[in-house]
Amino acid sequence: MSRIEIDTPMGPITADLDELGESLSYLATKVQKTDKVDQAISLFLQVDEAETQPIESKRKYYHNRSYIFWMEALMEIINKDYTIIRAENYNFGDAMTAPIWFDEKVGDVTVKVPHKLVMYVQSNKNPEERFVIMFTPFDEYEVDMVFQFRSSCFNYTEFWDVVEDYFYNHGLLKGAHFTAEFKFLDTPKLNWSDIVIKTEDRQILERNLVKFIDSVELYRSKGLRGSRGVLLAGPPGTGKTLSCKVLMNNLDATVLYVSRDNITDVGQITELYKMARRLSPSVVILEDIDTLGGLGRDEGDHPLLGEFLNCLAGVEDNNGVVTLATTNHPEKLDWALTDRPGRFDVRLKFDYPDEASRLAILEKYLTPFETKNIKLKSLMKRTDKFSGAYLQEIVQSAFMLAHEDCGYCKEPVITQKDLERALTQMEAQRATVSREKGLSYSGDEMTIEQLYN
């Protein structure tokens, strides 16, 4: 093995010649690659060697699936007003390889997304208007995009303004229902007839969301705020999420859905509301808001809390943006969040269904099944403080018992006995959980708020 030793003021340095040769070769090929690309760009942009600072650069960096939708907007504008003269890609050194594009399925649309390539673009109206875009990926949706151009021939600011206008007003996200991870939601086609909700509560939701968004400009013309905040509070399984799903189907607006796992870092909430404003009219749905980064001051000021408060009622105008949040624990939320018009203007309590509602819920869930000698009123006392989710489970368990009893026939018939057996199983299960939690259980006197809140 060949080695070289060099004396330095800090002492001798020894290096392996083979490894050093490989490193120098790698550096040489990298320089060749850079030179080759730079030469190609200069030639395409028709740079005069006598010019000083002839080429300008602008950088855009993307780190999530929003890249798909920005590229859809970019390519729409390029394909409309420009021509891609060529697209190239390079491996190490000067070896050329095929450009890399991704085909992304978004709803019913397939988007062709540039991933790793150098794109040479020319205006259809003015051949001297040219620019080059270099796409360098670090991960699937983590891409560094660099524009290179001559400012005397290409106005980058005007070009990107056109791309932004398309993205926010005509792009795939406008009017869409998507998550904070930029994944489209497959929203169930539900309406108010599919859930059991008090007429007054439904009217409050329609007034503050559906009708408000439809008439937001009227409110603005009267000097009123063009934003709204609605908080749905109550135990699990009482219809908060179902109501959100129904509202999504009735809203003529962009919907941004945020779950507890989506917000972890400072800045994410700000970016979310920035997009909601530009895509308005829009609804930001925050599921289980009490778990979003721990939005409370129990252990001192929380950075995400301050950011969220500012997004709801800060310097930025939320015109056309409605926030709809749900929580199982309203008592855990900061007062500055819940007791301040302009942040959450309306708080709607989703409590355990009363006797009439429980009866209606059971009847609704039993509608698809064949039944015999059912007396639902006899079950009302035993189902006190049962949520809609538990009532649904009673019906499902009763059907499974009926299915078993008939030898797994094609058309089981649910009887009163099946419902009572299913309810007994549910009571036993709840009693077991209450013992595990160290709570008391004595029929309908179980401390249900402690156990299920």
Confidence of residue 446 (pLDDT cuts 50, 70, 90): very low
CA atoms within 13 A on the CB side of 142: 3
Burial class (CB in 10 A: 0-12, 13-18, 19+), 293: buried
Quick: pLDDT tens for 207-239.
999 999 999 999 989 999 899 999 999 999 899
pLDDT at 65 over 90: yes
Q: Which residues pair with 260 in a beta bridge?
A: none
Taking 70 as the threshold, does the pLDDT of residue 448 lie above it?
no
Mean per-residue pLDDT, 382-402: 94
pLDDT at residue 4 is higher than 50: yes
Q: Which of 120-134, 300-314, 425-439 has the lowest mean pLDDT?
A: 300-314
How far is residue 263's CA from residue 300's CA, in Å, rounded to a whole number? 19
239 dihedral zone (left: phi>0; alpha: psi -120 to 50; beta): left
- For residue 362 the two structure tokens come to 């059971």
Mean predicted confidence (pLDDT) in 68-96: 90
Residue type, 169: N
What are 264's two structure tokens?
């972890």
Is the predicted pLDDT of residue 147 greater than 60, yes or no? Answer: yes
Name the more confident of 53 and 320.
320
Identify which of 263, 272, 202, 191 has the alpha carbon closest to the alpha carbon of residue 232.
Answer: 202
- The alpha carbon torsion through 309, 313, 315, 317 (nearest 10 deg) reads 130
| Angle formed by the axes of helices 156-169 and 66-81, nearest 10° | 120
Confidence class for position 38, pLDDT limits 50, 70, 90: confident
What sign results for the dihedral spanned by CA atoms 338, 342, 343, 345?
positive
Neighbours of 268 (CB within 10 A): 17
Q: Which whole number is the average pLDDT over 101-108?
A: 92
Cα–Cα distance between 384 and 404 in angstroms, integer? Answer: 28
Q: What is the rounded average pLDDT of the residues 110-119?
A: 95
- pLDDT (mean) for 153-175: 97
| Banded model confidence at residue 449, pLDDT cuts 50, 70, 90 | very low
Distances, alpha carbon 83 to alpha carbons 36, 76, 117, in Å: 23, 11, 16
Rounded to whole angstroms, how far apart are CA atoms 357 and 360? 5
Query: Using one digit for the tens of pLDDT, what is the confidence trace for 358-375?
Result: 999 999 999 999 999 999
Contact 88, 99 (CB under 8 A): yes
CB of 90 closer than 8 Å to CB of 97: yes
Residue 128 in this model has a pLDDT that exceeds 90: yes
Give, as one character, the DSSP assignment of residue 210.
Answer: I
**Mean pLDDT within 84-103:** 85
**If you average pLDDT over residues 22-37, what whole number do you get?**
56
**Least confident residue range of 90-94, 189-193, 282-286:** 90-94
pTM for the full predicted model = 0.80
Q: Please, what are the domains in the chain? A: 1-172 (no CATH), 192-349 (3.40.50.300), 355-452 (1.10.8.60)
